[in-house]
Amino acid sequence: MASTACFMIVSRNDIPIYEAEVGTAPKKEEAAHQHQFILHAALDVVQDLAWTTSAMFLKSIDRFNDLVVSVYVTAGHILLDFLIALHTRLMLLHDSRNDDGIKSFFQEILLNPIYLPGSRVTSSHFDTKIRALARSYRYPCGYAEVYGVFVFWLRPSA
């Protein structure tokens, strides 16, 4: 079954620093800008929620038609060690089918020191890892090694 998913990392000044279409659905030309529009608009909701919640993982905060936006907001002081700057937002646009494992997907990415502050992430290695992770979170548990860090995850049971 084809799924749609678009993963982006957005820096604190709303500049996208990494972007990947990780779904299995065949690519459509208009999808690229549509996904950007949806994720961009969802930033408003993230901003809104940031005042009211201290949670970092914001599941399904916004939706457009059957596409759902989940966001992981980093808090600077915790993740500084991982070189992800304050209030960087990892956004995933996905269809509602694959609700599970999204959080672990985020966490796996977060555990990887990837970010060169202020710049776009251009590492092809990171790219392949993200795509591999996106494929793998369908499984209930597993592990992956990214940048020398072994990451284990367990999918929360439904």
Partner 1 sequence: MADPAHFALRKMLLDEITPVVMVLPTPLVEQRCQKNGLSFVQMLTPFCVFNNIDVPVRTASDQPYRLQKFKLRMFYGSDIRQPNIEVTKERLEQVIADAGNKEDSDLYLDPSPIEAMSTSSEPEFVPTWFQYFNKELVRSVSFSDHEAFDHPVACLLVVSSNDEDPINKFVNFFNTNQLPPLLNDGAMDPKIPKYFILVHDNQDGSPKRATKILAEMRNTFGSNDCRLLCINSSQDRLADHEPNPWAPYGSNASPGQHLGCLLNNEDMDELKAFVRDLLSKDIIPNMEQRIRVLNQQVSATRKGFRNQIKNLWWRKGKEDTPEVQSVNMYTFNSIESQIRVLGDYAFMLRDYELALSNYRLLSTDYKLDKAWKRYAGVQEMMGLTYFMLNQSKKDAEYCMENAFSTYLRIGTSGKGNATRCGLWWVEMLKTSGQYKDAAGVYFRISGEEPLHSAVMLEQASYCYLLSKPSMLRKYGFHLILSGDLYKKCDQIKHAIRAYRNALSVFKGTTWSHIHDHVHFQIGKWYAFLGRFDVAMKHMLEILACSHQSKAMQELFMKDFFQILQKTGKTYNISRLQLPIVNISSLSIVSEDHRTYGSPAAVSVKESVWQSLEEDMVPSLSNAKTTWLDLQSKLLPTKLKQSNVCVAGEALKVEISFRNPLQLSIPIYNVTLMCEYSANETLPDANSSSSVIEGDEDGKIATGRVSNSDTSFFTSSEVDITLAGGETTVAQLSVIPRKEGILRVTGVRWKLSDSMVGFYTFDSDFITKRISKQKRKAKQNTNKLDFLVIKSLPRLEGVINNLPSTVYAGNLQPLSLELRNSSEIPVKNLKMKISHPRFLNIGNPEVLDVNFPSCLEKKQPCDKGADFEATKQSETIFRFPKDTIINKETPFFLPLWFRSVTPGNVSLYLTVYYENEDKSTAMRYRTLRTHHILEVLPSLDVSFFISPCSSRLQEYVVRMDVINRTSLRNFKLHQLSSVGNEWQISLIESINHIFPSGNLVPGQALSCFLKLKNVKTTETKTDVWLGDDSSEAVFDTQRAPLVNFHHYERLHQKTSHQENQRTVDFMLISRMEESENVPSDLPTPPQIFSHHACHCSVSTKRPIWWLLDSPQVNHCNFSNSFCETKLKMTIHNSSSFVASVRINTFDAPPGGSPSGNKLGWHDMATLPMDDTSGTSTRKPVSLESVPPFIWSGSSTTRVKLEPNSTAEVSLLVTTFAPGTYDLSNYTLNWSLLDSNDSREKEGVCYGRPFYLTILREE
Q: Residues 56, 75: contact at Cβ < 8 Å?
A: yes
Three-state secondary structure call for residue 49: helix
Q: Is 44 in the site for partner 1 (CB under 8 A)?
A: yes
Q: 10 to 39, contacts with partner 1 by CB under 8 A?
A: 14-16, 29, 32-33, 35-38
In the bound state with partner 1, the residue whose beta carbon lies nearer, of 66 and 145, is: 66
Least distance in angstroms from the C-beta of 104 to partner 1: 27
Looking at the DSSP assignment, which residues form a beta bridge with residue 72?
57, 90
Q: Residues 3, 95: contact at Cβ < 8 Å?
A: yes
CA 92/CA 112 separation, integer angstroms? 17
In the bound state with partner 1, the residue whose beta carbon lies nearer, of 30 and 81, is: 30
Q: Is 41 in the site for partner 1 (CB under 8 A)?
A: yes
CA 67/CA 46 separation, integer angstroms? 16
Q: Is 87 in the site for partner 1 (CB under 8 A)?
A: no
CB-based burial label for 134 (10 Å; 0-12, 13-18, 19+): buried
In the bound state with partner 1, the residue whose beta carbon lies nearer, of 15 and 149, is: 15
Nearest of 97, 144, 104, 116 to residue 9 by alpha carbon: 116
In the bound state with partner 1, the residue whose beta carbon lies nearer, of 89 and 103, is: 89
Q: Is 85 in the site for partner 1 (CB under 8 A)?
A: no
Nearest of 20, 14, 7, 152 to residue 90 by alpha carbon: 7
In the bound state with partner 1, the residue whose beta carbon lies nearer, of 33 and 97, is: 33
Binding range to partner 1, per CB under 8 A, among 45-53, 96-104, 111-119, 138-146: 45-53
Q: In the complex, which residues of this chain contact partner 1 (CB under 8 A)? A: 14-16, 29, 32-33, 35-38, 40-45, 47-48
